[in-house]
């Protein structure tokens, strides 16, 4: 009975891991890496994006993006190495939290907007942040220029 069910459970667990973006190592097939690199994840009025760069580099890219959009970014909390909190006043009011993950090699950027925030504007802001990161680490891939 177990021999009949095992292939189905293995296939099901592999499918769940791939669809959820988790990293899993199965005896048959190693599946490693993050599925979130390069994507903006939305949950109600909160956008989350992960960057494969250190905290201070991401913070500088966020500040440059706000300057490019000509909006005022006010720093609420600045703790180099631990995280930053910003508010941005402009066409779309946003609060941004930048925090390090995984031994400070991955940075998590969370952008909160109002309930009626402009999703396209936030995604454009994230695209500007991507463009302001060093070319070799944007989206976690090597850019050829």
Please tell me the distance from the alpha carbon of residue 4 to that of residue 2, in angstroms, as a whole number: 5
CA distances (Å), 46 to each of 26, 63, 84, 102, in order? 33, 19, 17, 22
Is the pLDDT assigned to residue 74 strictly greater than 90? no
Q: 103: pLDDT confidence band, cut at 50, 70 and 90?
A: confident
pLDDT: which is higher, 25 or 60? 60
Q: What is the mean pLDDT of the chain?
A: 74
Q: 135: pLDDT confidence band, cut at 50, 70 and 90?
A: low
Q: Which distant-in-sequence residues (6+ apart) come within 8 Å of 83 by Cβ?
A: 55, 77, 97, 98, 99, 100
Average pLDDT in the 54-66 region?
90
Please tell me the distance from the alpha carbon of residue 131 to that of residue 110, in angstroms, as a whole number: 18
Q: What does the DSSP 8-state code read for residue 140?
A: G
Percent of the chain with pLDDT strictly greater than 70? 65
Instruction: Select from 110, 108, 107, 104 the least CA-distant residue to 88.
Output: 110
pLDDT number for residue 38: 59
Average pLDDT in the 92-112 region?
87
130 touches 107 (CB < 8 A): no
- Which run of H or of E encompasses 73? strand 72-79
pLDDT number for residue 76: 87
Which range has highest mean pLDDT (11-25, 37-51, 64-78)? 64-78
- 92, HSE (Cβ side, Cα atoms, 13 Å): 21
pLDDT number for residue 97: 93
pLDDT number for residue 63: 92
Domain 41-140, CATH number (from 3.40.1440.10, 3.30.160.110, 3.30.70.20, 3.40.50.360): 3.30.160.110
Every domain of the chain and the residues it spans: 2-31, 41-140
Neighbours of 133 (CB within 10 A): 22
pLDDT number for residue 33: 40
Helices first, then strands: H and E counts in the chain: 3, 8
CA distances (Å), 132 to each of 4, 33, 45, 135, in order? 53, 24, 24, 8
């Amino acid at each position: 009975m177990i021999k009949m069910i095992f292939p189905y459970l293995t296939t099901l667990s592999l499918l769940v891991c791939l669809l959820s973006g988790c990293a899993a190592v199965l005896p048959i097939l190693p599946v490693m890496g993050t599925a979130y690199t390069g994507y903006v994840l939305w949950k109600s009025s909160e956008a989350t994006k992960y960057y494969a760069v250190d905290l201070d580099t991401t913070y500088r890219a966020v500040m440059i993006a706000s300057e490019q959009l000509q909006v005022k970014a006010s720093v609420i909390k600045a703790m180099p190495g631990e995280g930053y909190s910003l508010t941005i006043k402009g066409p779309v009011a946003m609060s941004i939290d930048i925090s390090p993950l995984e031994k400070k090699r991955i940075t998590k950027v969370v952008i909160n907007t109002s309930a009626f925030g402009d999703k396209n504007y936030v995604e454009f802001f994230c695209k500007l942040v991507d463009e302001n990161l060093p070319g070799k680490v944007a989206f976690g891939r090597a850019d050829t220029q």
